[in-house]
Amino acid sequence: MTNTELLVALIAVAVVVLGGGAALLVRRGRGELPPPRDLDAITEEYIEHPEHPEPHLPSEDEEPPFEEVPADEKDQPTAPTTTVERPEPAQGRLVRLRARLARSNSSLGRGLLAVLGRADLDDAAWEELEDTLLAADVGVGPTTELVDRLRTRVRVEGITDPEAARRALREELVALVDPTLDRSLALQGPEGTPGVVLVVGVNGTGKTTTVGRLARVLVAEDRTVVLGAADTFRAAAADQLSTWGQRVGVDVVRGPEGGDPASVGFDTVKQGLETGADVVVIDTAGRLHTKAGLMDELGKVKRVAEKQAPVTEVLLVIDATTGQNGLRQAQVFGEVVKVTGVVLTKLDGTAKGGIVVAVQRELGVPVKYVGLGEGADDLAPFDAEEFVDALLA
């Protein structure tokens, strides 16, 4: 291309460009196009709404950004994942448990009241009354005593009205259960030491569950508690007790599986002393009362634990459904460790409520707690009048 041709081409391009610009000016003047935007507005819009933002890379002299932590949130412990429960007061359970006891044991009350409500109480009627009491595991001695006293009252007082007979039966049953017995737990050791509660019983009576429920009762009374899993021969027992403890925020001392139960009892009382706990509760292995060696070991647990602080309470857990066999258990345990109180479990599933009387007569110690139902708070302090009222409801 010659110089003349190049010059012509450049002039043509300039004409096209100038003509296009003139056309744009004419259209903008007519309002057909928006006014031009300045560079600052375009830059600001890009920063706020970038279509393809690029990550900001700090320079070597620039410190990386960080989020300031509020002062009140610094060095705070992580919140526990398990929610600690607040058990209901034991006294608040009595109405509910009494209603349950009334439903399960009403056959005993109905049987007694049906006999006493008869117009003619002959010898056959009194024998039927005795049979009803014996079937409820009241025991031969207490049954004979109760029937003799009732016969005397009916004859002397001339009782013929069913309601009067019911009142007489209630009074005699309450006297038989003996409301004068001290059913409180000894929860204070000498010289400020914690109360030490040893819980004993054969396999299957609900002993570990009772320990867990008792811990809930004590926590509801604002007492600090330490539990000891001295049933080292059954790993599930220690795990179960640990679960009970976690639910109410109670420490549980446990040893190696198959380890020395007496050592666990010793360590539990020691921790109770060191932490200033109010009560120490030790769960022991379910001892078969026919095995002398195991019973001797139970005595060892008590002796070793008392090297730290005296045992203030020995609770014997008895399954109410075992009936007279529970009396034999009570006898043997009473020979090995001095039992101070009885806990009757599974009382909701039996009409044999008379075991309360029989056990107390056999051991000479009171029933202090009763277990009814499967709930975590289905353990209540035993009350003689409440119990009799439930039987007769």
Residue 134 annotated as binding? Answer: no
**203 is an annotated ligand-binding site residue:** yes
Q: Is 284 annotated as a binding residue?
A: yes
Interatomic CA distance for residues 167 and 365, integer angstroms: 27
CB contact set of 214 (below 8 Å; sequence gap of 6+): 197, 199, 281, 315, 369, 379
Does the annotation list 207 as a binding residue?
A: yes
Q: Is 204 annotated as a binding residue?
A: yes
Q: Which of 380, 343, 361, 340 is nearest to 177 (CA)?
A: 361
The pair of three-digit structure tokens given for residue 366, joined into one six-digit string: 């009171």
Spell 247-285 as b/e; 16+ CB within 10 A means b: bbbbbbbbbeeeebbbbbbbbbbbbbbeeebbbbbbbbb
What residue has token string 């008590």?
Answer: 302
Q: Are 276 and 185 in contact (CB under 8 A)?
A: no
A 10 A CB-CB count for 145 gives 17
Q: Is 205 annotated as a binding residue?
A: yes
Is 132 annotated to bind a ligand? Reply is no
Contact 112, 125 (CB under 8 A): no
Closest CA to 250 of 277, 210, 269: 277
- Taking the alpha carbons of 256, 261, 267, 273 in that order, is the dihedral positive or negative? positive
β-strand partners of 342:
316, 367
Residue 206 labelled as part of a binding site: yes
287 marked as part of a ligand binding site: yes
Binding-site residues sit at: 201-208, 283-287, 345-348
Binding annotation for GTP: 201-208, 283-287, 345-348
